[in-house]
Amino acid sequence: MKHKYRDRLLPWLLAAALVCPPVQAQPAGLPGLGDGESISLSAERQLGDRIARELYRDPDYIEDPVLDEYIQLLWAPLVRAAAARGELSAELQERFAWRILLGRDRSVNAFALPGGYLGVHLGLIAVVGSHDELASVLAHELSHVSQRHIARGMSEQSRMTPWLVGAMILGALAASKSPQSAQALIVGGQAAALQSQLSYSRDMEREADRVGYGILVDAGYDPRGFVGMFGKLQQAAGLNDNGAFPYLRSHPLTSERIADMQARQQLNTPAAVPVADMAQALMSGRARVLSQNTPDALKAWTLEAEQPSPQDGPAQRAGKLYAVTLAHLQQRNMLAAEQSLQKLQELVKKSVPTDSKVTQALASPVALSVDRWLRLLSAEVAMKQDRFEAALQQLLPGGAVPDLARPELMAAAQAVQRLPGHALQAEITRQLRQRVFVAPHDAQAWNLLAGLLAAQGQALAGLRAEAEAQVARLDWEGALDRFRAAQDLAKRSRLQAGEHIEASIVDTRLREVQAQLRALQQPSTGPR
Ligand SMILES: [Zn+2]
């Protein structure tokens, strides 16, 4: 059913995520990178920042607190395991960005960028069958970063400038999703000649498999996810070799790699019986609808849920009901959304064991999120109907205000912002401040904080939060603009108690951002 729509919207991609043209001549005035030596961590991070700031501006970049949390839940144990295995030095952990950007694109892709940035397309989340499979892709990508494959690849291209590498990676990424664009035509036309310039070598792929597999096992995932994922990708690519699986272009699979993985798996037979992966099914439903929300696609999700396949287990049926609830919501069919939400709640209640002690002992943090994600979906339904108080009751059951998880905090902030003078405004503001203190790169939290501060008459602090949101998205010009607006406001208004500190923070941050911009405008970033 869903493939019908895929066919019509194809063809997908022409080039791999990390492909780069041969450089015949060194452009004048731009120094080479490292001259054969591996590039430094800070040079790689700077290159990653350049690429990431373009991705943040891409209309396909999506901030979705629920999917972001899901990826983080899978990612955090992998990072801990990698560090414990000695694959991630403290320096690498500190110097790299370690940010995962979600792309709305429905092609099946994940990629590691220079400097510890990673990209995950919603198409990948939509297509995997279990959270172990998704974790296996993340483990593989994490290993490309931890083994510094990008730096090693780049040092072989010693005549290539970081500027050019950044431009080429962006070109290849653009080509990987929109074949109509001019960039795609350029990259596509040269694709044959360009292959392998910056893509990973076969040895690097095997190393990322080996290291990634070890990390996956140590992090507590079912290692069958690794084989399952790559088997699925290969099978799908064989059935459908139209470029919908760019992942395979950038990480070519050989039968040798698959045999290696199967051999590893036999050494490591897991004791656990795989349970139906309800969590992954729900998130797959979310990713499907957020990546394809044309009226035709939304209609297709609705039909799919109305005519369930007899082979569907509870997880698949729940995933379809989740998708159809969201699809109705996007079409503003409120009654239909409420009806499918109710069916979904009943189904989950029936299929998830109710003995919470048993569940807690067996289940991963991911499985334990299922109930929360249903409440978050209920809150989304309420918000779409402007029932903000009802949304808050879903988000804060029992009325108490603990330290909210990020998706709940984001949603509650949106709700209280629409309820002037609400008793919870101060508490939610406090929690958002806490959030940006521990995670200053959380642009969405800064934006929500800005809105709440403005709503509470704290204009100066609100402007600074807006500026910090731009900093978090690496948009230095945008940040400068907001910091200047804050400075102007501080000059022309009589500052309240406490605002003098805020004003001096604004001055300091303005100077820091100006320095950042100057550094960025200098073409040389590589060590000589
Ligand atoms: Zn790879």
User: For the segment 140-151, what is each residue's pLDDT rounded down to a tens digit?
Assistant: 999 999 998 887
For residue 286 the two structure tokens come to 């979310």
Confidence of residue 162 (pLDDT cuts 50, 70, 90): low
Task: Please state the rounded mean pLDDT for residues 87-113.
Answer: 91
Q: Residue 180 contacts by C-beta under 8 Å, 6 or more apart in sequence?
A: none
227 CA → ligand 1 middle, Å: 14
Distance 110 CA to ligand 1 centre (A): 9
Tell me, letter by letter, the H, E, C secondary structure of 434-466: HHHHHCCCCHHHHHHHHHHHHHCCCHHHHHHHH
Say how many Å lie between the CA of residue 112 and the centre of ligand 1.
9
Question: Does residue 454 contact residue 416 with C-beta atoms inside 8 Å?
Answer: no
Question: How far is it, in rounded angstroms, from Cα 280 to Cα 285?
Answer: 8
Interval 298-304 mean pLDDT? 85
Identify which has the larger pLDDT, 456 or 28. Answer: 456
Q: How far is the CA of 270 from the centre of ligand 1 (A)?
A: 24
Closest-CA residue to 329 (of 397, 378, 396):
378
What pLDDT sits at residue 300?
Answer: 86
CB atoms within 10 A of CB 481: 15
Run of H or E residues at 69: helix 65-84
Report how far residue 308's alpha carbon sits from residue 306's, in angstroms, rounded to the nearest whole number.
6
Question: Is this model's pTM higher than 0.75 or not?
Answer: yes
> Ligand 1: distance of its center to the CA of 205 in Å?
5
Task: Identify residue 227 by its one-letter amino acid code.
Answer: V
Confidence of residue 265 (pLDDT cuts 50, 70, 90): low
Distance in angstroms (rounded) separating the CA atoms of residues 355 and 274: 19
- pLDDT surpasses 70 at 199: no
Helix (H) or strand (E) holding 136: helix 131-146
Ligand 1 center from residue 200 Cα (angstroms):
7
Average pLDDT over every residue of 480-496: 92
Cα 211 to averaged position of ligand 1 atoms, centre (Å): 11
pLDDT at 239 over 50: no
Q: State in Å: Cα 144 to ligand 1 middle.
A: 7
* Maximum average pLDDT range among 69-73, 298-302, 365-369: 69-73
| Mean pLDDT, all residues of the chain | 80
Distance 251 CA to ligand 1 centre (A): 4
> What are the distances in angstroms from CA 3 to CA 75, 277, 364?
29, 22, 32
- Using alpha carbons only, what angle is made at residue 238 by residues 237 and 239, rounded to the nearest 5 degrees? 90
**CB pairs under 8 A, 24+ apart, for 355-364?**
364/131, 364/220
- Separation of 113 CA from ligand 1 center, angstroms? 12
Ligand 1 geometric centre to CA of 119 (Å): 13
Band (198; pLDDT cuts 50, 70, 90): low
Query: In angstroms, what is the span from residue 125 Cα to ligand 1's centroid?
Result: 17
| Distance between Cα 247 and ligand 1 center (Å) | 8
Q: How confident is the model at residue 313 (pLDDT cuts 50, 70, 90)?
A: confident
Compute the distance from residue 137 Cα to the ligand 1 centre, in Å.
9
Tell me how far the alpha carbon of residue 203 lies from the centroid of ligand 1, in angstroms: 10
Pairing of strands 117-121, 110-113: antiparallel
Q: At what angle are helices 334-351 and 314-330 packed, to 10 degrees?
A: 160
Q: How far is the CA of 240 from the centre of ligand 1 (A)?
A: 20
Q: Which residues contact 327 (CB under 8 A, 6 or more apart)?
A: 289, 293, 298, 301, 302
Mean pLDDT of 277-296: 91
Q: What is the dihedral of CA 52, 57, 58, 59, to 10 degrees?
A: 150
Alpha carbon of 248 to ligand 1 centroid (Å): 9
Given a cut of 70, whether residue 320 has pLDDT beyond it is: yes
Locate 214 and state its tokens: 């070890």
Measure 234 CA to ligand 1 centroid, in angstroms: 14
- Confidence bin at 10 (pLDDT 50/70/90): very low
DSSP 339-377: HHHHHHHHHHHHHS---HHHHHHH--HHHHTHHHHHHHH
- For residue 96, the tally of other CB atoms under 10 A from its CB is 20
Residue with tokens 């005519």: 307
In the structure, ligand 1 is a single-atom ion and the residues with CB under 5 Å from it are 205, 208, 251
Q: Is 388 helix (H, G, I), strand (E, B) or coil?
A: helix
C-alpha 239 – ligand 1 centre gap (Å): 21
Question: Can you give the pLDDT at residue 1?
Answer: 35
Mean pLDDT is lowest, of 94-108, 247-261, 426-440, 496-510, for 247-261
